[in-house]
Amino acid sequence: MPAAPVAASAEQGSQKSVFGAIAAIIGAVLTALGVFSGWVTLGPSGNTVTDSMWSMVAGEGFLKSNDPIALVALAAGAFVVGILLAVGAGRTIMRVAAALIGLAIVVVAALNWMSISSFVTDNFTSEVEVKTAVGFYMVVVGGILTALSAMLPAKK
Amino acid sequence: MTSYPLANTAALVTGGGSGIGLGIARRLATDGATVTICGRTESRLLHAISEIGPIDGPGSLHPVVADVTAEESVQAAVQAAEQNAGGPLSAVVSNAGGSTSIGPVTHLDKQSWSDTVALNLTGTMLVLKHGAASLVRNGGGSFVAISSTAGSLVHPWFGAYGPSKAGVDQLCRQAADELGASAVRVNSVCPGLIDTDLVEFITAGGEVLDSYRENTPIARVGTPTDIAALVAFLVGPESTWLTGQTISVDGGQGLRRGPSLASVLEPLFGEEGLRGVVAADTDS
Residue A143 lies in a domain: yes
Contacts of B247 (CB under 8 A, 6+ apart): B187, B188, B189, B190, B230, B234
Containing structural domain, residue A84: 20-50+68-149
Evaluate whether residue A34 is within a structural domain. Answer: yes
**Percentage with pLDDT > 70 across chain B:** 98
Q: Is A155 exposed, middle or buried (0-12, 13-18, 19+ CB in 10 A)?
A: exposed
d(CA A132, CA B44): 30
For residues B95-118, average pLDDT? 94
Task: Flag whether A13 is in a domain.
Answer: no
**Active-site hit among B157, B161, B212, B269:** B161
Provide the number of structural domains found in chain A.
1
Three-class SS of residue B194? Answer: strand
Q: Do the domain assignments include residue A60?
A: no
A·B CB contacts under 8 A: 74
Report yes or no on A115 lying in a domain: yes
**Residue A155: inside a domain, yes or no?**
no
Say yes or no for a CB contact (<8 Å) between A43 and B269: yes
Under 8 Å between Cβ of B259 and B211: yes
Of A51, A60, A124, the CB nearest to B206: A60
Q: How many residues does chain A have?
A: 156
B117 touches chain A (CB under 8 A): no
- pLDDT-derived band of residue A14, with 50, 70 and 90 as boundaries? low
Choice between B89 and A43, residue whose per-residue pLDDT is larger = B89
Please name the member of A45, A119, A126 whose beta carbon is closest to the beta carbon of B201: A119
pLDDT digits (tens, 9 = 90+) for B26-37: 999 999 999 999
Q: What is the pTM of this model?
A: 0.85
- CA-nearest residue of chain A to B203? A61
CB atoms A124 and B205 under 8 Å: no
B4 catalytically annotated: no
Model confidence band, residue B198 (pLDDT cutoffs 50, 70, 90): confident
**Residue B62: strand pairing partners:** B36
Domain membership of residue A55 (yes or no) is no
Average pLDDT of chain A to the nearest whole number: 87
Yes or no, beta carbons of B103 and A125 under 8 Å apart = yes
pLDDT of res. A5: 44
- Alpha carbon dihedral B235, B16, B127, B70, in 10-degree steps, equals 180
Q: With respect to residue A61, please indicate whether it lies within any of the assigned structural domains.
A: no
